[in-house]
Structure 1
Amino acid sequence: MKHLSPVFVSLILAFTCLYTTPAQTAPFQDGETVVFLGDSITHGRQYHSFIYDYYLTRYPDRKIHFVNAGISGDSAGGAMRRLEDDVISKSPTTVVVMLGMNDVGRSNYVADPTEKQLEAQAGSLERYEANMDALLDRISKETEAKFILLTPTPFDQTAEIERENQPGCNDGLAKCAELVRKLATKYDAQVIDLHGPMTSFNLEQQKDDPTYTIVGFDRVHPGIPGNVMMAWLFLKGQDAPATVSHIEFDAEANKFPGTKNASVSNLQITEDSRTFSVEEDALPWPIHAEGSELLTKLPIIEDLNQQIIQIKNLKSGNYTLTIDGETAATHSAEEWAEGINLATIPTTPQSIQATEVAKINEKRRSAETRLRGYACVRWFLGRYIDPDDFEAINEFMKSKEGETGYYLSKVPTYLAEWENRGEVEAMVLKLEKDAQEAAKPVPRIYKLTKSQN
Structure 2
Amino acid sequence: MIQKIRLLTLAAALVATGLAPVTSAASSSDADGFYLKDGDRVVFYGDSITDQRLYTTFTETFVVTRFPAMNVSFTHSGWGGDRVTGGGGGKIDVRLERDVYAYNPTVMTIMLGMNDGSYRAFDQGIFDTYKNGLTSIVEKVQKKLPGLRLTLIQPSPYDDVTRAPRFSGGYNEVLVRYGAAVKEIASANNQNVADLNTSVVAMLEKAKATDAKLAEKIIPDRVHPGGSGHLIMAAALLKSWNAPAIVTDVAIDAAASRITRAENTRVTGLNVTPAAITWSQLDAALPMPVDMGNAETVLAVRSSGFIAELDRQPLRVTGLTAAGYDLAIDGKPVGHFTPAQLAEGINLATLATPMAAQAAEVHKLTMQRANLHNIRWRTFQVPYANADEAIRASLPDVMKALDDADLAAARMQRAAAQPVVRRYELKGLTQDQIAAQGVPAEQLPAGVALQQNLALDKKWKSTAPNTYGWDSGLTDGSWAGNSKNTWATDDKDTFPKSVTIDLDTPATIGHIVIGVPAFGSTKTVAVSISADGQNFTEVGRYAFSLRKEEKRLFNFEPATARYVRLTYVDHHAERVNYNNTFAFTTDVQVFAPAR
TM-score band w.r.t. shorter chain? 0.7 to 0.9
| RMSD of aligned residue pairs (Cα, Å) | 3.0
Q: 1:363 aligns with which of 357, 361, 368?
A: 368
Deviation at 1:211, TM superposition (A): 7.8
- Greater CA deviation, 437-446 or 210-219? 210-219
Map of 2:277 onto structure 1: 274
Map of 2:239 onto structure 1: 236
Tell me if structure 2 keeps the 8 A contact 1:60–1:282.
yes
Deviation at 1:135, TM superposition (A): 0.5
Map of 1:82 onto structure 2: 95
Deviation at 1:201, TM superposition (A): 3.5
For residues 178 and 375 of structure 1, the distance between their equivalents in structure 2, rounded to whole angstroms, comes to 38
Deviation at 1:439, TM superposition (A): 0.4
Tell me if structure 2 keeps the 8 A contact 1:321–1:448.
yes
For residues 307 and 132 of structure 2, the distance between their equivalents in structure 1, rounded to whole angstroms, comes to 39
Q: 1:343 aligns with which of 349, 353, 359?
A: 349
Deviation at 1:392, TM superposition (A): 10
TM-aligned CA distance change 1:416 to 1:238, over 3 Å: same
Determine whether 1:46 maps to 2:51. no
The aligned amino acid for 1:174 is: V
For residues 217 and 277 of structure 1, the distance between their equivalents in structure 2, rounded to whole angstroms, comes to 44
Tell me if structure 1 keeps the 8 A contact 2:250–2:262.
yes
Determine whether 1:97 maps to 2:100. no
Q: Deviations over 1:347-380 (max 9, x none)?
A: x2111111111111111122223234248955xx
SS of the counterpart of 2:376? helix
- Greater CA deviation, 149-158 or 57-66? 149-158
TM-aligned CA distance change 1:327 to 1:211, over 3 Å: closer
TM-aligned CA distance change 1:205 to 1:319, over 3 Å: closer
For residues 381 and 35 of structure 2, the distance between their equivalents in structure 1, rounded to whole angstroms, comes to 30
TM-aligned CA distance change 1:142 to 1:295, over 3 Å: same
- Greater CA deviation, 30-39 or 210-219? 210-219
Map of 1:353 onto structure 2: 358
Tell me if structure 2 keeps the 8 A contact 1:25–1:237.
no
5+ long unaligned stretches in structure 1: 1-13, 18-23, 111-117, 379-386, 395-413
| Aligned counterparts, 1:136-175, within 5 A | 136-143=138-145, 144-157=147-160, 159-160=162-163, 168-175=170-177
With CA pairs under 8 Å and 6+ residues apart, which has the higher RCO, 1 or 2?
1
Q: Deviations over 1:385-439 (max 9, x none)?
A: xx63314999xxxxxxxxxxxxxxxxxxx99988623332222221111111000
Structure 1 residue runs of 4 or more that deviate by more than 6 Å after TM superposition: 414-419
Determine whether 1:181 maps to 2:194. no
For residues 214 and 152 of structure 1, the distance between their equivalents in structure 2, rounded to whole angstroms, comes to 19
Deviation at 1:244, TM superposition (A): 0.8
Deviation at 1:122, TM superposition (A): 2.2
| Aligned counterparts, 1:15-414, within 5 A | 26-78=34-86, 79-106=92-119, 109=120, 121-143=123-145, 144-157=147-160, 159-160=162-163, 168-206=170-208, 209=212, 212-213=215-216, 216-289=219-292, 290=294, 291-346=297-352, 348-374=353-379, 377=382, 388-391=385-388
Deviation at 1:215, TM superposition (A): 5.9
TM-aligned CA distance change 1:196 to 1:300, over 3 Å: closer
Tell me if structure 2 keeps the 8 A contact 1:49–1:361.
yes
Q: Deviations over 1:141-172 (max 9, x none)?
A: 111211111111122345449xx957643232
Greater per-residue helix proportion: 1
The aligned amino acid for 1:170 is: N
TM-aligned CA distance change 1:337 to 1:157, over 3 Å: closer
Map of 2:409 onto structure 1: 431
TM-score (normalised: structure 1)? 0.79
For residues 415 and 292 of structure 1, the distance between their equivalents in structure 2, rounded to whole angstroms, comes to 49
SS of the counterpart of 1:450? strand
TM-aligned CA distance change 1:74 to 1:264, over 3 Å: same
Q: 1:447 aligns with which of 425, 430, 439?
A: 425
The aligned amino acid for 1:364 is: R
For residues 393 and 160 of structure 1, the distance between their equivalents in structure 2, rounded to whole angstroms, comes to 53
For residues 311 and 38 of structure 2, the distance between their equivalents in structure 1, rounded to whole angstroms, comes to 21
Tell me if structure 2 keeps the 8 A contact 1:99–1:152.
yes
TM-aligned CA distance change 1:359 to 1:415, over 3 Å: farther
Deviation at 1:443, TM superposition (A): 0.6
Q: Deviations over 1:260-319 (max 9, x none)?
A: 011111233434222222111111111234323222211211111111111111115111
Deviation at 1:140, TM superposition (A): 0.9
For residues 314 and 428 of structure 1, the distance between their equivalents in structure 2, rounded to whole angstroms, comes to 49
Tell me if structure 2 keeps the 8 A contact 1:104–1:124.
yes
For residues 299 and 204 of structure 2, the distance between their equivalents in structure 1, rounded to whole angstroms, comes to 14
Tell me if structure 1 keeps the 8 A contact 2:109–2:152.
yes
Deviation at 1:26, TM superposition (A): 3.4
- Greater CA deviation, 257-266 or 434-443? 257-266
TM-aligned CA distance change 1:243 to 1:160, over 3 Å: closer
Tell me if structure 2 keeps the 8 A contact 1:246–1:261.
yes
Q: Deviations over 1:234-266 (max 9, x none)?
A: 122222111111111111111112210111112
For residues 261 and 211 of structure 1, the distance between their equivalents in structure 2, rounded to whole angstroms, comes to 37
Give 1 or 2 for the bigger CA radius of gyration.
2
For residues 149 and 328 of structure 1, the distance between their equivalents in structure 2, rounded to whole angstroms, comes to 41
Residue correspondences, number: 392
TM-aligned CA distance change 1:434 to 1:310, over 3 Å: same
Tell me if structure 1 keeps the 8 A contact 2:44–2:50.
yes
For residues 429 and 264 of structure 1, the distance between their equivalents in structure 2, rounded to whole angstroms, comes to 34
Tell me if structure 2 keeps the 8 A contact 1:68–1:372.
no
Identity of aligned residues (%): 29
For residues 288 and 415 of structure 1, the distance between their equivalents in structure 2, rounded to whole angstroms, comes to 43
Tell me if structure 2 keeps the 8 A contact 1:156–1:215.
no
